[in-house]
A and B are shown apart, each in its own frame.
Chain A
Amino acid sequence: MGKERVAVVGIGQTKHQATYDGSIATLVREAAERALDDARMGWSDIDAVVIGKAPDFFEGVMMPELYLADALGATGKPMFRVHTAGSVGGSTAIVAQDLIAAGIHERVLTVAFEKQSESEAMWALSLPIPFQPPMHAGAGGYFAPHVRAYIRRSGAPDHIGILVALKDRLNALKNPYAHLHEHGITFESVKDSIMLWDPIRYSETCPSSDGACAMVLTNEKGGDEAAAQGRPPAWVLGTAFRSEPTMFAGRDQVNPRGGQDCARDVYAQAGITDPRRDIDVAEIYVPFSWFEPMWLENLHFAAEGEGWKLVEAGVTQMDGDLPVNCSGGVLSSNPIGASGMLRFAEAAMQVRGQCGEHQIDGVRKALGHAYGGGSQFFAMWVVGTEKP
């Protein structure tokens, strides 16, 4: 875990939307300013900036952190760019927390973003590369076979995916920053939406969003000061990443070992022996609805093949005993590079009691989760109200 305790003392995000009316610099600066305001800090208080985003082809800017140094007040400071596929928002937060945990910096600003309207992510993922199997249909076409394998193995009924989509979109109505606010959504409307990549329907799919998320992390002193001023921090209780190969016959893409190992690692750090009991709320990276039951199993909240039963029983609803994605999740906002950091940030917001209408009462420990690549990159953290 490191030498220094790490506290989340500032969180900001933009209103996620199809087309953000401004530059990339404006987008990231808006999120960063909100995080600084929340932390009662100014640009000069920050020692270093850690930024993350998904592939540069998504905006058509190579290494955009170079251009964003000015907008993020990073000049004269260390600026670091992380890129670990869809898990990047989570990985970025972990790299930022490491700088404090290692005792190198005291106050670090971390930012993640995507501006999907600048380009077309689906086709950016489908560039024809010699000697490699073409995707030609973006992430949905890639993951649909994994979902089908899950359904076949677990015997889950068809409506589970619909229930997850309906829950997340209804939760999003309580989150002013969520991209999709579908007031008229019903079980029937999700069920009747067009089938994109069987068994994934249009309404069971994440949107393409512009958005950014930012956090200010500090050492123990900074966390104590925030607490003394009546702004409770979220303490980082554990962080972990795991990666596994793309091309390996021994992989299980439905319940990847990398995710299982990552979860065990982060739970052990956070003193969690029974995640279902010890974690009060979880923000899990669910870009297609069926990934909720799949990840519930992968994260050891349910036995293998049982995740869908938690969904069906309403356990993951806001009034269930393990609320999942109260923010509306990736299914309601997907600025890809920021989506992982939003999961980490929303977990911290639940701990800090900042969530407004989608706040769960009495959260003491929360999980933030992100994954990426072909279900092969994982980043997780557990945050809590009490110091580790």
Chain B
Amino acid sequence: MRDVAIISFAQTQHRRAVRELNEVEMLMPVLVDVVAKAGITKDRIDFVCSGSADYLAGMAFSFVMTLDGVGPWPPISESHVDMDGAWALYEAWVKMQMGDVDVALVYSYGKSSPGNLRRVLTRQLDPYYLAPMWPDPVSLAALQARAALDAGVVTETEMAEVVAASRRAALSNPSAQLRGEVEASSLLSEEYFVAPLRRHDCPPISDGAAAVILAADDVARQLCERPAWIRGIDHRIEPHSLGVRDLTRSVSTEQAATHAGVDKDKIDLAELHAPFSHQEVILRRALGLGDEVAVNPSGGALAANPIMAAGLIRLGEAATRITCGAADRAVAHATSGPCLQQNLVCVLEGE
């Protein structure tokens, strides 16, 4: 495979509701920032790929408007996925493997505040057999958490510890929405929200955007002192119906990890897209991460969860820590669909 690296990452300060800005306005500063951090001008970009979901904006073709934020003139080579930006990054990485593209811009955004997110996400389910019952993502995650608790895969104490670690890590993340010093024991004294999930076991609802610049081979080396090289990237999907899946495992993460080569060497750091606390435990097991691995130094999706961008942010956060020398080998993960239905795994390395 051709060597491709993340050389620049930018994101918004994620908030519960960005009311005063439309999506283009929310995204623009991030695009300006990511290009400036890469030390390039827009005309160096050979390919652009973005990820977003029309259902969050409540309109068909919401990405058509945000493309204007890129300033695509003269016309550009560009594509869009109705998936998290991590998959937009995957498409750009594929394009770069073919040799003609040396620099790519990837961005994604999600503004969940205009609608009722729990109701909106029910529209993501099988339209004939599931969606008519309006099961929301928190309730589905609660089913998964119950299965994991019953199977002994996770305990409520571990879930609270995941949350406490996230809040503490987010103290040093200026983009995070939720942060603070909290003890697991005090979290456990709170009431259930949707049992066995307490409110803090669930991700915040966030508005936000993120962008990444990818560069290949020597172009990456010229533009970045320590590029975060993509050594493996793969994604897999599982059946949609929860009834045919083992919810206490993440089989598709295991498959993607194998194809991405996670176990080829020691992992220093992991950024996992686990919107619910119990999912972090499931994902650690799926990726074979031991206690020595620093998980979610950014605070993860429990600290800020701008849907459609939260996965790309995991790749950007992991890359940033490689670029600054804090880690040598990291795994970044993104998820989509109910109860971790679809998962992407990326291995990043410094040189």
Contacts and interface: CB of A to CB of B under 8 A. Distances in A.
Nearest to A244: B75
Interface stretch (B196-204, B208-216, B310-318, B334-342): B334-342
B126 to A, nearest CB: 5
A62 B58 CA distance: 11
Given A245-B71, A247-B68, A60 B94 contact: no
A125 B237 contact: no
Interface stretch (B79-87, B141-149, B153-161, B271-279): B79-87
Interface string B50-71: 0001110111110111011001
A55 B75 contact: no
A63 B337 CA distance: 9
Contact of B81 (A58, A81, A129): A81
Interface string B109-131: 00000000000110111111001
A236 interface: no
Interface stretch (B95-103, B297-305, B323-331): B95-103
Contacts of B185: none
A44 interface: no
Number of chain B interface residues as a range: 35 or more
Contacts of B22: 130-131
A60 B237 contact: no
A69 B338 CA distance: 13
B162 to A, nearest CB: 25
A260 to B, nearest CB: 9
Contact of B72 (A67, A82, A245, A262): A245
Contacts of B120: 62
Contacts of B121: 62
B73 A95 contact: no
Interface stretch (B163-171, B175-183, B238-246): B238-246
Given A56-B54, A80-B87, A248-B73, A85 B237 contact: no
Contacts of B94: 95, 98-99, 102, 104
A3 B97 CA distance: 9
A377 B61 CA distance: 12
A99 B91 CA distance: 9
Contacts of B97: 2-3, 102-104
A129 B59 contact: yes
Interface in A197-243: 240-243
Interface string A49-62: 00000111111111
Interface string A255-283: 01110011000000000000000000000
Contacts of B123: 56, 60-62
B67 A246 contact: yes
Nearest to A72: B237
A89 to B, nearest CB: 13
Interface in A39-95: 54-70, 74-85, 91, 94-95
A75 B55 contact: no
A57 B79 contact: no
Contacts of A63: 53, 55, 82-83, 124, 336-337
A276 B250 CA distance: 54
A77 B89 CA distance: 18
Given A82-B81, A244-B75, A67 B54 contact: no
A56 B125 CA distance: 12
17 contacts: A56-B53, A56-B60, A57-B59, A57-B60, A61-B131, A62-B124, A63-B336, A76-B255, A80-B87, A83-B82, A84-B79, A98-B94, A241-B79, A242-B75, A242-B77, A243-B48, A245-B71
Given A61-B127, A246-B68, 10 more contacts: A24-B127, A60-B127, A75-B238, A76-B255, A118-B127, A130-B22, A243-B76, A243-B77, A245-B73, A250-B73
Interface of B: 1, 22, 48, 53-55, 57-61, 63-65, 67-68, 71-83, 87, 90-91, 94-95, 97-100, 120-121, 123-128, 131, 234-241, 251-252, 255, 336-338, 341-342
Listed from nearest, the 10 A-B pairs whose CB atoms lie closest are: A55-B60, A258-B75, A102-B97, A2-B98, A243-B78, A83-B82, A62-B55, A244-B75, A62-B123, A66-B337
Interface of A: 1-3, 23-24, 54-70, 74-85, 91, 94-95, 98-99, 101-104, 118, 124-125, 127, 129-132, 240-248, 250-251, 256-258, 261-262, 373-374, 376-377
